Amino acid sequence: MGGREGENGAQTHPTVAERASRGKAARSEVRRRGHGEWEAPAPRVDPLAILQEQDKSRVPELVPIRHGRMLVSPLAFFRGAAAIMAADLADGPRTGLQVQLCGDAHLSNFGIFAAPDRRLTFAVNDFDETLPGPFEWDLKRLVASFAVAGREGGLGRKERSRVSAAVARSYREAMRSFASMRTLDLWYSRVDVDQLARSFAKQASSRDAKRLDRDLEKARTKDSLKAFAKLTHLVDGERRIVSELPLIVPLDELPDAGQRIAHETVSRLVRGYRRTLPGERRRLLERFRYVDAAHKVVGVGSVGTRAWIVLMLGRDGDDPLFLQAKEAGASVLEPYLGRSAYSNHGQRVVEGQRLMQAASDILLGWLREKSGDDGPRDFYVRQLWDQKGSAPVETMTRRLLEDYGRLCGWTLAKAHARSGDPIAIAAYLGKSGVFDAALDRFAETYADQNERDYAALEQAVKEGRVEAATGL
């Protein structure tokens, strides 16, 4: 949506009509029906080779845990296979309609969290792979994730088609709505979870409504106080993070000679991270003192990357703040879409998140650790638990999965409309269901490929070519 220079170097902006024409012109370059015509590239890079290439930069003893978590189901494999799908999309059609991509927009990377005004909101909540790129890459990954989840939930082809088409249609119709909004109204737009819950309760069964109430109440209590109670204990009168090997490894588990250096390093990094916060939030963080830190295994695809939890205390021993510092490497999209504009990948993640979310964690920042044996490492920092919650997609009925799909489609469109041109994208998508049907076909075809890739990992583990640690 950037402007262009006029005769005297002044910035001008395209009109609404010009922006719509750009979107319609893109149809001649990439037919909407064409998005449904996917087949594996020939030759296709071995998906296990892609995973093993990622493993090289990860903590070696944690890599088997990653493989084990991906073996749980085809959906779990899909969650960890963002790099594989990026390679598969790279040779496909590109509309040229750029947005800030999430880069890993599957259905489990959406969720609720507390906005700075402490109201619960729903949004995309994972940005490890964020990078500018064509809008359809995110949407294809999202719709395909619903096809994979539908299969796992036992839905038939027609039921899955209904869900997939609903996700795509919700995105398309939402983008059309955003294209007609005033700029600031679009920028501030967000999903208010309390309003969403009231609307859901009017049409849902009493059982589903009660379950949502329980899930929201659970999310509201998932904060630093809950983490404090669950993840710490008293040691010689001071709070320390509990050990849960190999998933949680406190610094005090290190050899005696390395403990002091490790604590000093983390404390120094926290001080450095403060500089990436706005002034008033630096003042807030300065009210807390560093107490303890531990390595904590997180997620599925992220397992093996360095991820630290940091305990800090404020006015007294019952005033905790838990931060998470998570390693940020190059986005899996970079080999195909170009390098990030940011030299620090932690900053890449943070800036992408701020661009895609209407309300972000007030303590979001980044840092660089320069003392590693194998070179500097980038991290982004956020609150560990800030009233976060996710949908139980594995147990959803077809109706609930469809409702959730519509919500995710709307939410992704809103995130894209903030950084891209909603008028051009809406004009490209049009009013008919042509694009929706194409995405449904793509999703089914890619779900087939995902199952083959999952089977390949199973076979590699069975033959001993890949090591997996299950049940962790």
Q: Is residue 352 part of a domain?
A: yes
More confident residue, 372 or 40: 40
Q: Are residues 37 and 147 in the same domain?
A: yes
Model confidence pLDDT, tens digit, residues 31-63? 999 999 999 988 999 999 999 999 999 999 999
Model confidence pLDDT, tens digit, residues 188-229? 999 999 888 888 877 778 888 888 888 888 888 888 889 999
Give 379's pLDDT tier (boundaries 50, 70, 90). Answer: very high
Instruction: Give me the pLDDT at residue 7, please.
Output: 54
Averaged pLDDT for residues 272-282 = 95
Residues 23/428, Cβ–Cβ less than 8 Å: yes
Averaged pLDDT for residues 78-86 = 98
Last residue of a domain, one of 383, 407, 422: 383
Query: CA-to-CA distance for 413 and 425, rounded, in angstroms?
Result: 10
Q: Are residues 378 and 407 in the same domain?
A: no
Averaged pLDDT for residues 155-178 = 98
Q: Is residue 248 part of a domain?
A: yes
Residue 192 CB coordination number (10 Å) = 13
Q: Are residues 266 and 166 in the same domain?
A: no
Give 257's pLDDT tier (boundaries 50, 70, 90). Answer: low
Q: Are residues 334 and 403 in the same domain?
A: no
Question: Is the omega angle on the peptide bond into residue 246 within 30 degrees of 0, that is, cis?
Answer: yes
Q: Are residues 28 and 132 in the same domain?
A: yes
More confident residue, 371 or 282: 282
Domains in the chain, number? 2
pLDDT at 256 over 80: no
Structural domain including 418 reads 17-189+397-462
Query: CA-to-CA distance for 346 and 378, rounded, in angstroms?
Result: 5
Q: Are residues 423 and 360 in the same domain?
A: no
SS (H, E, C) 370-429: CCCCCCCEEEEEEECCCCCECCCHHHCCHHHHHHHHHHHHHHHHHHHHHHCCHHHHHHHH
Q: Are residues 425 and 369 in the same domain?
A: no
pLDDT averaged over the chain? 93
Q: Is residue 200 part of a domain?
A: no
Q: Is residue 196 part of a domain?
A: no
Last residue of a domain, one of 383, 409, 427: 383
Instruction: Give me the pLDDT at residue 1, please.
Output: 47
Give 86's pLDDT tier (boundaries 50, 70, 90). Answer: very high
Q: Are residues 378 and 255 in the same domain?
A: yes
Q: Are residues 80 and 151 in the same domain?
A: yes
Looking at the chain, the whole-number percentage of residues with pLDDT higher than 90 is: 78
Q: Are residues 21 and 73 in the same domain?
A: yes
Last residue of a domain, one of 383, 405, 421: 383
Residue 363 CB coordination number (10 Å) = 18
Residue 392 Cα distances to 153, 211, 327, 365, angstroms: 12, 10, 26, 29
Nearest to 300 by CA among 103, 443, 108, 57: 108
Instruction: Take residue 270 and report the two structure tokens written for it.
Output: 């926290």
Model confidence pLDDT, tens digit, residues 5-24? 555 555 578 999 999 999 99
Q: Is residue 199 part of a domain?
A: no
The predicted model scores a pTM of 0.93
Model confidence pLDDT, tens digit, residues 122-145? 999 999 999 999 999 999 999 999
Which helix (H) or strand (E) segment holds residue 21: the answer is helix 16-29
Q: Are residues 109 and 167 in the same domain?
A: yes
Q: Are residues 138 and 238 in the same domain?
A: no
pLDDT at 278 over 70: yes
Q: Is residue 32 part of a domain?
A: yes
Radius of gyration of the chain (CA): 23
Q: Is residue 442 part of a domain?
A: yes
Q: Is residue 210 part of a domain?
A: no
